[in-house]
Structure 1
Amino acid sequence: MKNKTIALLGAACFVSGAFVARVADNELSVSVLQEAQKVFGLHFSDAQLDSTVSELEDLKKSYEVLRKQDLPNSVAPALVFNPIPVGFTFETQKSAFEVERPQGVKLPKKRDELAFYTIPQLAELVRTQQITSEELTKFYLSRLKKYGPTLECVTTLTEELALQQARQADKEIKAGKYKGMLHGIPFGVKDLLSTRKYKTTWGAMPYKDQVIDEDATVVQRLQEAGGVLMAKTTLGALAMGDVWYGGKTRTPWDVNQGSSGSSAGSAAAVAAGLLPYAIGTETLGSIVSPSTACGTTGLRPTFGRVSRHGAMALSWSMDKIGPIARSAEDCAIVFNAIYGPDGKDQSVYDAPFNYSPSINPKKMRVGYLKGDFAKKYGFRENDQATLDALQKAGVELVPISLPDLPANELAMTISVEGAAAFDELTRSGRDSLLVAQHKNAWPNTFRTARFIPAVEYLQAQRVRSLLVQQMQEALQDVDVYISPSFASNNLVITNLTGHPCVVVPNGFRDNGLPTTITFMGKLFGEAELLSFARFYQSITPHEEKHPSMDFSKKKKS
């Protein structure tokens, strides 16, 4: 009876409005429901449970009907997360995007130094035809082939396409049809963004040969800006960690260490000078974490800023797409090309991005999470040095605190939405093909999520609404604020509320690995946020540090 009860338990548990599994030829009973309700912490009487049995049996039949509907990962729920609190407004007037062109840029005597040039520097070389896009593309292709296998940061090289796009860019530039700073500049995209004719593997064994024959909106927009797609970069399987079906992505600062995840390959490739910039995504730290492990600058935009059309869905209400690059200004240039509605992702807002050199960071109201900075943690000295540098430069820091709500408990959002996104993977048993099978890996997380009642998920989203509103109140007196990159409350809260962040390198640990600090912005406040991050990088040298590429000194174990 005990085994039967456990087997039937799955059939009596709601998950986002659906029962976990159908147990063939078995009917529900009061005794089964008595056991099932213990999972939920409920205490209905036998009489009350008896009244529900027939309706639950009918619902089981409904689930079977619904499961016959074809629901690819690209189909979003009818419910769309709204990050905008009551009383919040964003700018509606759009001004011209402005970035100062660097003066006197020349090709370096040592060609390898070109690998670490910023986008404006590379753009100036291409614009003035000191180097062709094809030459630049071949340069980065050679580095990808040389160092990529050691870092395990690439799933697919798009070499044929890249050379074709580079030659086209050269023709356009020579004809005087220069499109801007991304014209002729190579880039990579995290391999959960679809690309025509090339595999989109999601980093996971069950999908390693998958071809989604369309360009994701972000890919399309970068190519329209003249960009040259070089590579699909690795991600931890289904956007978790740095372990993918082909191995473990490494940080170029120490190839014995993983690059964290899940935008593992994008951060590693940029840090190693294999790409000028790459696209990453974040649901709960997937830009912040690998940027820290690799010492890159990463932008996680406001939720609803960048279309996710063509991107693998993990959490429809939390997934965000942003650039990983060498500097805040590089991120601004890329973001300017990819943000805004596309008519396909209904979560995207039509809000302007008015980035300009006229924004004065010294006039911004800057907060900092005093309580988090006061705690003891591994690279506190570097973070304190960041605060000191800003104050010395004339920035006044005002202590603030975040809402005191159970944010960590709301992380079930990812589990439930992820379980729905990969429902077929779980029910088919193909989740056994994923490399990671430990307790905290996706297979178990998705199975566990089947036991989360739809009512509890919706109650969590109601608490999330309170969080959105209270964040608005907490930030009403500041334009940006500063947080340790791994202050867990800040990372969780702001991913739930959809606030933007820029993570920038700010030093090194004793073991030689880089550290970062996080600058947070208001909703849709990327222009001010990136301007502030750019200001910090103008008074510190951290983003200019690069790893030694002699990996033989630290052989991978």
Structure 2
Amino acid sequence: MKNRTIALLGAACFVSGAFVARVADDKLSVSILQDAQKVLGLHFTDTQLDSTVSELEELRESYEVIRKQNLPNSVPPALMFNPIPVGYTFPTGKSAFEAERPQNVKLPKKREELAFYTIPQLAELVRTQQITSEELTTFFLDRLKKYGPTLEAVTTLTEELALQQARQADREIKAGKYKGMLHGIPFGVKDLLATRKYKTTWGATPYKDQLIDEDATVVQRLQDAGGVLVAKLTLGALAMGDVWYGGKTRSPWDISKGSSGSSAGSAAAVAAGLLPYAIGTETLGSIVSPSTATGTTGLRPTYGRVSRHGAMALSWSMDKIGPIARSAEDCAIVFNAIYGPDGKDQSVYDVPFNYNQSINPKKLRVGYLKDDFAKDYGFKQNDQAALDALQQAGVELVPLSLPDLPASDLLLTISVEGAAAFDELTRSGRDSLLVAQHKNAWPNIFRTARFIPAVEYLQAQRVRTLLVQQMEEKLQEVDVYISPSFASSNLVVTNLTGHPCVVVPTGFQKNGMPTTITFMGKLFGEAELLRFAQFYQSITPHEEQHPSMNFSKKKKS
């Protein structure tokens, strides 16, 4: 979150909430309200303020009653964000999912090469029984043990469970009960997703021994598809950055640099070939940013596409779950297994995902954020090369601009909802246990958010409604559009409106770190979006580049 946003948050003060920190017997007065309204920018008279004192005292009593209710992080508010514009028509009609199945895949002579095989390649090896799921699982467990500590990417290895699931997959496949491309394939999940019998730490010291003895819907669905859970992966504490209670997750391209976050371990593990794919989450850049720092391909689905049941809540109206993998098609395969309603997360819509080879990427209408690409930035040549490659392949690019609304000022949404999700942590003082304690870290953000007026929060959501509607109007003439991954305006706007994106690698900076570009889709347009991203990757080699894994020459900072 930008420093400017934090400063804006600090400038706000909730007239009734401004007094919650006072002890119960500390009476309110007109003079206290006079001071409070100066911060708010209000100008009520002393007489008007005098009339509110008794009401605020009663409200404070209500706060105390509400605080005594049992409200675990898993309980959502009764109000839910609606990303659907007025007049929107949902896609209908479901067709069979179809991913490209590679031909003549052979087990490599050098077993290490398996580390960077795609899901379809590994799936073909498992399906044809050239390698067992147990052998493949052991291979990736060994890599996690070897490189995980250096990258600081793993909170928990689920080895016992993984081997059980792998052996079960082998029995099923041998019996002719093959479930599809994820059957017998190992995976990892960001450690804010609940798993039976294994801790779910949320990357934060106060919760590092927490056991939520259930499987999140996403975990369950991947296991139902035959997937093998091998690891819980690091996240920046409470889904911010790459610093967790055990250290700082590293990019395998340069371990002196962090992997960014908050899906830090998911991105680092996939980039390093410790896993074929992993699950991440995004509220404001937590899939896009670590995918950029590690050179992976990440999908942030439409808000309301994937159930968040069993996932830590940070912002109920902005949290999204998606895969980080080697390619856009890998992401499509994983997404196909996890999307759709589960009867538990009421925000999920029942909309088909019709990814198949009948979608012609060259016939899609493609926009690009012309003004953002015109700016001067360090890896501009990589973005330009990506645009050139698409144009040379026959894609026509049309200029596009985003709505002219103050989107960054709406980011108080995350602060307010996050403060509610972790209210008990803040009031108990246990927020002091979090590693990060600087001005822009969660403890101060959550405290600051207690002083944001409920009225201002709701006004922000009303502006957000305008943003949703205007984005729909902007995208009437395109099916997908392209943005620089660095463009914070696009990242902010589309996380607020709930639009999907795929971030894909485009090469490297002069310092050897990866760069990416972002492809954006329409609401529930993941099929077209992923096909377009897959097309780009079919005409460029960037997703095939991998780190050397020679960490001995580099030191952590």
> What residue number does 2:461 align with?
461
> What residue number does 1:491 align with?
491
1:368 alignment partner, SS class:
strand
> What residue number does 2:504 align with?
504
CA contact (8 A) 1:292 1:514 kept: yes
CA contact (8 A) 2:251 2:293 kept: yes
Q: Distance in 2 between matches of 1:342 and 1:32?
A: 49
The offset of 1:13, in angstroms, is 3.8
CA contact (8 A) 1:14 1:452 kept: no
> What residue number does 1:279 align with?
279
> What residue number does 1:154 align with?
154
> What residue number does 2:327 align with?
327
The more displaced of 525-534 and 79-88 is 79-88
> What residue number does 1:202 align with?
202
2:476 alignment partner, SS class:
coil
CA offset digits 1:427-446 (Å, max 9, x no partner): 00000000000000000000
| Structure 1: tracts of 5 or more residues without a match | 1-8
Name the aligned partner's letter for residue 450 of structure 1.
Answer: R
Q: Distance in 2 between matches of 1:22 and 1:158?
A: 46
Listed as ranges, the matches of 1:363-378 within 5 Å are 363-378=363-378
1:230 alignment partner, SS class:
strand
Name the aligned partner's letter for residue 499 of structure 1.
Answer: H
Q: Distance in 2 between matches of 1:447 and 1:236?
A: 19
CA offset digits 1:187-246 (Å, max 9, x no partner): 000000000000000000000000000000000000000000000000000000000000
Q: Distance in 1 between matches of 2:385 and 2:493?
A: 25
1:112 alignment partner, SS class:
helix
1:321 alignment partner, SS class:
strand
Q: Distance in 1 between matches of 2:285 and 2:20?
A: 29
1:398 alignment partner, SS class:
strand
Q: Distance in 2 between matches of 1:371 and 1:11?
A: 36
Q: Distance in 2 between matches of 1:22 and 1:307?
A: 39
The offset of 1:486, in angstroms, is 1.4
> What residue number does 2:300 align with?
300
| Structure 2: tracts of 5 or more residues without a match | 1-10
Name the aligned partner's letter for residue 411 of structure 2.
Answer: A
Listed as ranges, the matches of 1:243-282 within 5 Å are 243-282=243-282
> What residue number does 2:336 align with?
336
> What residue number does 2:77 align with?
77
Q: Distance in 1 between matches of 2:116 and 2:16?
A: 51
2:502 alignment partner, SS class:
strand
CA offset digits 1:322-344 (Å, max 9, x no partner): 00000000000000000000000
Over the matched positions of the two proteins, sequence identity in percent amounts to: 86
1:535 alignment partner, SS class:
helix
Describe the shift of the 1:331–1:36 C-alpha distance in structure 2 as closer, same or farther (beyond 3 A).
same
Q: Distance in 1 between matches of 2:294 and 2:458?
A: 37
CA offset digits 1:108-131 (Å, max 9, x no partner): 111111000000000000000000
Q: Distance in 2 between matches of 1:339 and 1:121?
A: 23
1:340 alignment partner, SS class:
coil
1:475 alignment partner, SS class:
helix
CA offset digits 1:387-411 (Å, max 9, x no partner): 0000000000000100000000000
TM-score (structure 1 length as normaliser): 0.97
The offset of 1:36, in angstroms, is 1.1
CA contact (8 A) 2:303 2:320 kept: yes
CA offset digits 1:233-284 (Å, max 9, x no partner): 0000000000000000000000000000000000000000000000000000
CA contact (8 A) 1:10 1:20 kept: no
Q: Distance in 2 between matches of 1:100 and 1:431?
A: 48
Q: Distance in 2 between matches of 1:127 and 1:381?
A: 41
CA contact (8 A) 2:13 2:452 kept: no
- Number of residue pairs the alignment of both structures matches: 547
> What residue number does 1:219 align with?
219
> What residue number does 1:174 align with?
174
> What residue number does 2:547 align with?
547
CA contact (8 A) 2:13 2:40 kept: no
Name the aligned partner's letter for residue 53 of structure 2.
Answer: V
The offset of 1:503, in angstroms, is 0.1
> What residue number does 1:116 align with?
116
After superposition, the CA RMSD in angstroms is 1.2
Q: Distance in 2 between matches of 1:10 and 1:56?
A: 18
